[in-house]
Structure 1
Amino acid sequence: MPIRYILKQLLMPPGIFLLLLLIAWWLRRRAPRLATACFSLALGGLWLMSLPVMVEWSARQLESEPALAELQWAQLAEQAQAIVVLGGGREQNDPAWGGDQPSLMALERVRYAARLAKASGLPLLVSGGLHYGAPPSEAALMTDVLARDYGVRVRWQEGLSRTTWENATYSADILRKEGITRVLLVTQAWHSPRARWCFEQVGFEVLSAPMGFLGVANGRPAGGWLPEGKALWQNGLLLNEAVGLWAYRLVYGRG
């Protein structure tokens, strides 16, 4: 198991909060004030991360790309040469399907890309590598879903990438050979700014096609101030994205 994965799970919620609780228990007699501080920070963090209202607020800070108006779809071929769909994970060994399947998040992207492809006539590239280090790739799984469930043919598969930066660089290797420099980029709205930045860094003109917006009215009882398990997961995604947006500019920025 890669050390990077282990460190990420420990340093990002909820791992960091569980670690703080463990530290608080260990310090309960040696340093009771510090133990209380660690306990309070962990409990407060878990509570905030479990609130739908925090999902709504956090997403609004990240979702800066506007949604495409449906009236634009037929004219997309005038603005882009291809649609690029980014993988969003993979679920293993689902008995109902007889094998691996794209994650729910990836399926959302695939569904939107299929609509856009049918409306615009643009060719599709799907990008996503070996999520668990073994085939099939995310790209292969998405290709199968697009063909079987939506009747949409994928022209190119990029099945090596493991990160958003690699999505961009490996897709560029494929599309440059086809003379394609303008792409319509499909991914979650909160992921769209970082994805767009990556593709622009490798030389593409990018028209964003964000979907799956979270920065909308949460519609929960009490305005979203009651804890919810799903919110904990969503807030984790958003925090990871905020860190990634900063880190990518630091690591991959070209001044």
Structure 2
Amino acid sequence: MPLGYLFEQLLLPPGGLFLLLLLVWWWRLRRPRLALACGVLGLGGLWLMSLPVAVEQAARLLEREPALAASEWPTLSRRAEAIVLLGGGRERGDPGWGGDQPSLLALERARLAARLHWASGLPILASGGLHFGAPPSEAELFAQVLQEDFSVVARWQEGRSRTTWENAALSAPLLRDAGVRRIVLVTQAWHMPRARWCFERHGFEVVPAPLGFLGVPNGRPLGGWLPESKALWQSGLLLHEAAGLLLYPLLHR
């Protein structure tokens, strides 16, 4: 197991909040005030992460790029030379499909990339490596889904990347060899700022095509102030992305 993954799961919420709750038990007798503070922070953090309204407000801080209007899709070939589809995880060994499948986030991306391809005629590069070292790669799964479900052939597959930075670094040679300097980048809206930064650092001009916006009105009862399990998962995605935005400029100069 990669150490970076282990530290991420332990330190970032909700893992870090559960650690605070463990400290409550550890310090309950020796340091009751500190234990109380840890309990308030741990439970308060979990409660906040479970609120759809908190997800909505946090997402608006990350989702900086506007959606690419459908009216612009047919003219994308004037602004770019390829579509880059970024991996978004996979589900292991689904019996319903007889094997690994792209995650729901990845399928959203594949659907939009296919639509953009049919509207613009631009070729697609699928980027995404092995999930914890086990094949098939996300790029391979993307190519299969694009072909079988959308009748689209991925021209390039980059199947070694493990991070957003590596998506850009390992896709760059494939694109440059084909004379591509301008790309349409497909990923979730909250992931787009970091993804765009990575590709621009590798010398590409980026046309953002974000999707899956979370900073829209949540539409829940009581304005989203009731806890919800889905919001907890979405909060984890947003916190991971916020950490990435802070760390990437320090790690990749």
The percent of aligned pairs where both chains have the same amino acid is 67
Alpha-carbon distance in structure 1 between the residues aligned to 2:70 and 2:21: 48
- Alignment TM-score, normalising by the size of structure 2: 0.99
Q: Secondary structure at the match of 2:133?
A: coil
My pick for the range that moved more, 244-253 or 197-206, is: 244-253
Runs of 4+ residues deviating >6 angstroms: none
Q: In structure 2, give the amino acid aligned to 1:197.
A: W
1:163-182 alignment, distance < 5 Å: 163-182=163-182
Q: In structure 1, give the amino acid aligned to 2:212.
A: G
Does residue 64 of structure 1 match 2:64? Answer: yes
Alpha-carbon distance in structure 2 between the residues aligned to 1:106 and 1:202: 23
Alpha-carbon distance in structure 1 between the residues aligned to 2:41 and 2:91: 33
Q: Which residue of 2 aligns with 1:217?
A: 217
1:53-111 CA-to-partner distances (Å, cap 9, x unmatched) read 01100000000001011110100000000000000001100011110000000000000
Q: Which residue of 2 aligns with 1:98?
A: 98
RMSD of the TM alignment (CA)?
0.6
Alpha-carbon distance in structure 2 between the residues aligned to 1:235 and 1:197: 22
1:27-50 CA-to-partner distances (Å, cap 9, x unmatched) read 000010000000010010000000
Q: Which residue of 2 aligns with 1:39?
A: 39
What is the deviation of 1:234?
A: 0.3
Does residue 112 of structure 1 match 2:112? Answer: yes
Q: In structure 2, give the amino acid aligned to 1:198.
A: C
Q: Secondary structure at the match of 2:186?
A: strand
Q: Which residue of 2 aligns with 1:196?
A: 196
Q: Which residue of 1 aligns with 2:239?
A: 239
1:138-157 CA-to-partner distances (Å, cap 9, x unmatched) read 00001000000000111000
Q: In structure 2, give the amino acid aligned to 1:93.
A: G
Alpha-carbon distance in structure 2 between the residues aligned to 1:193 and 1:129: 21
Alpha-carbon distance in structure 2 between the residues aligned to 1:18 and 1:124: 41
Which stretches in structure 2 are left out of the alignment for 5+ residues? none
- Alignment TM-score, normalising by the size of structure 1: 0.98
Q: In structure 2, give the amino acid aligned to 1:68.
A: L
Give the aligned length: 253
Which stretches in structure 1 are left out of the alignment for 5+ residues? none
